[in-house]
Amino acid sequence: MNFKQKLTTDIKGKTIAIVYIFEKENAEGFKHFLVWKDKILTGWLRAVYELECLPYIVDVRTFMQKASNFSLPHIDYVINLNSGCNELSTMGLVPSICSFLNIPCFPCDATAILASENKEISNYIALGAKIKTPSFLDRCNYNGIYRPINLGNSIGVEKSSFVNFEKEGIYQEFIPGYDVTIPIAFNFITNEMDILPPTLYFPKSLDPNWIYNETTKKDDEGLVRLQFLEIEENSKQQLLSFIKIFGIKTYARIDMRLKRSSFLTGEEVKQPFSLKN
């Protein structure tokens, strides 16, 4: 029996709720900068059917209402597609209800969401885990980069002096170089979280003073992606220990900046990626 057959046998016939965002939802605290649409929704639906499970598709408000008046059908697992909320607290809504109902919620619980999505908290946790982070700066410093506490897709990221003290966010030292994304996922063979190969993001101009901001992500113009072959073992263990602090047991993504004054050579890319950089 191969892995897929075993997994299907273990959960065959289970009911999996897909809790999604209804775009006409008008609750004041439920504004979104990102809503998962057709490809994501149908992808999850197809995955549920491939596992020979029963999908129950429901929007967030209906899920809340049915949970409170005991009218939900029996649910074995919940896939939480409520993401991209402007209000960080609202991101924990679905997993909090699942916790109350004692239903496993994928990909993670409210504690992991709120701690990891809050950039200030996650930076301090990284410092505690002895992972290098950019220095926090006085907001009148002209050599920093501002990021909102919440929000994804690099929304609101600015490379400039930041003097608006009423604007919530973090202001840190700007690191010249290039962006690195490291995916982490649960390995069903080893039954442990595992590191996948990092991806390097850089502009075609090779300018180390660039920033991967909202416009760059939206247009995706002049952007190059390059994958490292592997990650150095000590760095791997350091990152795995880091995500354990958040209680993440499914998958995660860690974004960081590779400090460089010049572009990587071909030989450097072939070397295992290290946090020492």
96 dihedral zone (left: phi>0; alpha: psi -120 to 50; beta): alpha
- Phi/psi of residue 44, nearest 5 degrees: -65, -40
- Counted residue by residue, the chain has a size of 277
What is the predicted pLDDT for the residue at 47? 93
Angle (nearest 5°) at CA 264 between 261 and 269: 150
pLDDT beneath 70, residues of the chain = 1-9, 139, 153, 160-167, 216-223, 229, 264-270, 276-277
Q: Give the separation between CA 53 and CA 109, rounded to whole angstroms.
A: 22
Give DSSP secondary structure letters for 232-257: -HHHHHHHHHHHHHHT--SEEEEEEE
Q: Give the separation between CA 54 and CA 17, rounded to whole angstroms.
A: 8
Query: Which residues are paired to 178 by β-bridges?
Result: 258
What is the predicted pLDDT for the residue at 1? 46
